[in-house]
């Protein structure tokens, strides 16, 4: 076991190379999720399995995923980084962990992992499986390779009919594919004191809050140009920017300051009364901020990243605005648009105009948020369907 004083870097690399072995979870459930987004989507499932008395071990790959997992489920599951997918390391890892079942999120298909589980009698279920537009051509071109490895998966529970069709095209037996919906719909409302949070962000509790979530390079610069227009119409508005990657916090702060815009950082707990922009330089805060946002703009959608999870906003009763790049959540966004819970703009000019309109017409904004809340109420059965399959294998 690692010392409690071990550095995050040493913990990460020692677990990648299995220098630090996991605690045995005999007949328990091993859950693997790559990064923060995947971890967030399976928190309700982990909570359900824990409530049913199943020991749980969660593996991740990224540091942000690890930190988010510790905050969300660190009290009910053991957590480690996934070892490198080498036959010897994976065999030792499975032997040490002794799980009864492995749950793989989205497209975490690791041949060494799958072979080790097959050799040691560990059942495998692919949950929330998603084959993206970008990755499918590569998978299809190498389907003869993947047909062999994916045969070790006992059941796939893909997000949509399109994902199911793509799995079958890759060589997965159709009888091992069951569409249950997107587990991301099972996201839960964050436990937060909304009044206290609002007072911390805006002591006056009167400023319109425009939240720009999970931003990437170039997006903040463009948003700041639009902010000049929004600010002229609504001088007291507060712009809240949450960069996706922690290593960009300082860069974004400098960018804002260089524009002559007053900015405070979340970590400084400074009063925003005299500031135009609040820069959120913390992990795991974003979803709570949706509960107090008047307007929510999803980053990663103004640049060709593909967008981020809009349901984290919807479960807080907030409809969303995104740019044109929504391929990472195409099915979800299509459903949200169909239900009038999301608005997609084609360019910066449209985004600038739309936010101006919503600032002027709060009734239209309230309808957008109400539709989002209603949509989430309609999709509460996804977790139940996933758990039914998982429990049958346990």
Report the CATH number that the domain containing residue 207 is assigned in CATH: 3.40.50.2000
Encoded tokens for 189? 């409302």
Encoded tokens for 212? 């720009």
Both 35 and 151 in one domain: the answer is yes
217-239 burial, b at 16+ Cβ within 10 Å, e below that, comes to eebbebbbebbeebeeebeebbb
User: What confidence tens digit (pLDDT) does each residue in 275-292 have?
Assistant: 999 999 999 899 999 999
Both 198 and 123 in one domain: the answer is no
Cβ within 8 Å of residue 198, ≥6 positions away: 205, 292
Both 152 and 198 in one domain: the answer is no
User: What confidence tens digit (pLDDT) does each residue in 202-222 have?
Assistant: 999 999 999 999 999 999 999
Both 205 and 180 in one domain: the answer is no
Structural domain span for residue 27 = 8-188+380-393
User: Domain total for the chain?
Assistant: 2
Residue 2 lies in a domain: no
- Is pLDDT above 70 for 153? yes
Report the alpha-carbon distance of residue 130 to residue 343 in Å, rounded.
Answer: 23
User: What is this structure's pTM?
Assistant: 0.67
Encoded tokens for 370? 């109400």
Mean pLDDT of the chain: 94
Report the alpha-carbon distance of residue 155 to residue 178 in Å, rounded.
Answer: 8
Report the alpha-carbon distance of residue 227 to residue 239 in Å, rounded.
Answer: 8
Work out the number of other CB atoms within 10 angstroms of the CB of residue 127: 26
């Amino acid at each position: 076991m690692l010392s409690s004083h071990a550095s995050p870097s040493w913990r990460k690399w020692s677990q990648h190379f299995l220098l630090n072995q996991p605690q045995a979870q005999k007949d328990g459930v091993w859950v693997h999720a790559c990064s923060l987004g995947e971890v967030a989507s399976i928190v309700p499932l982990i909570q359900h399995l824990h409530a049913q008395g199943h020991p749980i071990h969660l593996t991740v790959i990224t540091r942000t995923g690890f930190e988010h997992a510790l905050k969300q489920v660190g009290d009910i599951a053991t957590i480690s980084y996934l070892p490198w997918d080498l036959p010897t390391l994976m065999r030792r890892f499975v032997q040490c962990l002794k799980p009864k079942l492995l749950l793989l999120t989205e497209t975490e298909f690791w041949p060494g992992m799958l072979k080790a589980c097959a050799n040691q009698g560990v059942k495998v279920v692919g949950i929330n499986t998603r084959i993206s537009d970008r990755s499918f051509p590569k998978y299809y071109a190498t389907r003869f390779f993947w047909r062999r490895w994916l045969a070790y998966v006992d059941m796939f529970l893909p997000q949509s009919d399109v994902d199911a069709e793509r799995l079958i095209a890759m060589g997965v037996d159709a009888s091992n594919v069951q569409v249950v919906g997107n587990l991301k719909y099972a996201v839960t409302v964050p436990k937060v004191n909304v009044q206290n949070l609002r007072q911390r962000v805006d002591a006056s509790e009167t400023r319109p809050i425009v939240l720009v979530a999970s931003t990437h390079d170039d997006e903040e610069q463009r948003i700041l140009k639009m902010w000049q227009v929004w600010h002229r119409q609504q001088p007291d508005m507060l712009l809240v920017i949450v960069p996706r990657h922690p290593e960009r916090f300082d860069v974004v702060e400098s960018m804002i300051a260089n524009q002559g815009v007053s900015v405070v950082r979340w970590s400084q707990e400074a009063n925003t009364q005299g500031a135009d922009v609040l820069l959120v330089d913390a992990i795991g805060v974003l979803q709570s901020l949706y509960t107090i946002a008047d307007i929510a703009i999803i980053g990663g959608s103004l640049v060709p990243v593909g967008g981020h999870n809009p349901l984290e906003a919807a479960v807080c009763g907030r409809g969303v605005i995104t740019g044109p790049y929504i391929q990472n959540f195409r099915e979800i966004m299509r459903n949200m648009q169909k239900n009038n819970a999301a608005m997609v703009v084609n360019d910066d000019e449209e985004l600038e105009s739309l936010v101006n309109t919503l600032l002027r017409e709060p009734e239209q904004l309230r309808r957008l948020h109400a539709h989002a809340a209603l949509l989430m109420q309609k999709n509460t059965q996804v977790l139940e369907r996933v758990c039914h399959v998982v429990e049958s294998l346990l």
